[in-house]
Homo-oligomer: A and B are copies of this chain.
């Protein structure tokens, strides 16, 4: 369906794809907004900060494939690109991703921003860990 998606792609090329990262930014924001709305019982919208996603991907084995030291922006881009790629290739869907984030998002409306960031990082780490095996095997 998506003519802009070149394939086959290696994990490394996905992680460095700036276009996929931009799409993934929108997708991750939507998933987190849905998960947070579900947890709080009230519709809301959020932008997920780079450092939240950077912390998440750095805690997973796939991060070493970036191959060199990266700043939070590049690490977050890699996270977003992976999520976009797996969603666009129908390896996952929004409902499943939201459910997994919800299951690990123990926040309330009283939770501080700092604490929410830490909890969100962990939830995104668990999400990525659950998806890693779906990434292309080819390097």
Q: Footprint of B on A, CB under 8 Å?
A: 1-5, 17, 19-27, 29-30, 33-34, 37-38, 40-46, 84, 94-95
Contact indicator A44/B26 (Cβ below 8 Å): no
Tell me the bound Cα distance from A42 to B19 in angstroms.
7
- In the complex, the chain B residue whose C-beta lies closest to that of A19 is B43
Contact indicator B33/A45 (Cβ below 8 Å): no
Contact indicator B1/A41 (Cβ below 8 Å): no
> In the complex, what residues of B have CB within 8 A of residue A34's CB?
2, 23
Tell me the bound Cα distance from A4 to B37 in angstroms.
6
Q: Given that A3-B38, A4-B38, A38-B4 are contacting pairs, would A43 and B22 also be in contact in the complex, using a CB cutoff of 8 Å?
A: yes
- In the complex, the chain B residue whose C-beta lies closest to that of A1 is B95
A37 in complex: contacting residue of B2, B43, B44, CB < 8 Å: B2
Contact indicator A45/B17 (Cβ below 8 Å): no
Tell me the bound Cα distance from A114 to B34 in angstroms.
32
Tell me the bound Cα distance from A4 to B33 in angstroms.
12
> In the complex, what residues of B have CB within 8 A of residue A2's CB?
34, 37-38
Distance in Å: Cβ of A87 to nearest Cβ of chain B: 10
> In the complex, what residues of B have CB within 8 A of residue A45's CB?
19, 21-26
Closest 5 CB pairs of A and B: A22-B45, A19-B43, A26-B30, A4-B37, A26-B29
